[in-house]
Amino acid sequence: MTANGASELKSPVEPEESAGVLHPTGEPPRKRRPWGPIVALLLFVAAVAAITWMHQRQAPSTGGPFELIDASTGRQVTDRDFRGKWLLVFFGYTHCPDFCPTTLSDIADTMAMLGPLADQVQPLFITVDPKRDTQQALNEYTGAFDPRIRGLTGTPDQIAIAAKAYGVYYAKRETGDDYYMDHTGATYVMRPDGTYERSFLSTDGPEEMTKRLRHLLSEGR
């Protein structure tokens, strides 16, 4: 408003005085939103989610029912007998020259480093060579690493069922008059309710195993 009460009229801005290019209407063009990168990101996220979902749907479950013989007692045990404990399940054999002694040594070291938390853990050594691995042989072998490691054996069919439940591969390889067993070298971590948590490889070592297990046990999962 001016001093006499009249409205002050502002002269329109000439096109040449405005910044940028004007539309024919005289209004400045609206800035376009960068929809391209946003759409690409959304498509990527959707693709990752779909792949993850498909993997979870298709991935076979690890672990399951088994009936085996506890080498320390001679009694038949099932997977349900170990409910309430975290399990470290490893398949091997007493004549194994590499993976088995290394893995059992790592498990023994892990149990020692866990301290009181180890009371929540039960290591199981399931033989894939029941012909040679008698109950006595299993007891002596596992006891040399840690007496808390339970050796399990059974008939060839019982071993095959247990191995299939865990997705474990094993095969007999002839070497002249002798033979060895080719087998999966992973250690399977099972929750107290019998479901699968994760696997450890022979390259993980006791420090990594202890760190991961301590985290799980402390969470009380």
Cβ 91 vs Cβ 184: under 8 Å: yes
pTM of model > 0.85: no
Higher pLDDT, 4 or 90: 90
- Kindly calculate the radius of gyration of the chain based on its CA atoms and give it in whole angstroms: 33
pLDDT of residue 58: 37
| Start-to-end Cα distance in the chain | 74
pLDDT band at 60 (very low <50, low <70, confident <90, very high): low
What mean pLDDT is reported for the chain? 84
Per-residue confidence band for 52, with pLDDT thresholds at 50, 70 and 90: very low
Give the pLDDT score at 17: 47
| Of the options 1.10.10.60, 3.40.50.1980, 1.10.645.10, 3.40.30.10, the CATH number for the domain spanning 67-73+81-219 | 3.40.30.10
What's the rounded Cα separation, in Å, for the pair 103 and 185? Answer: 8
pLDDT at 199: 97
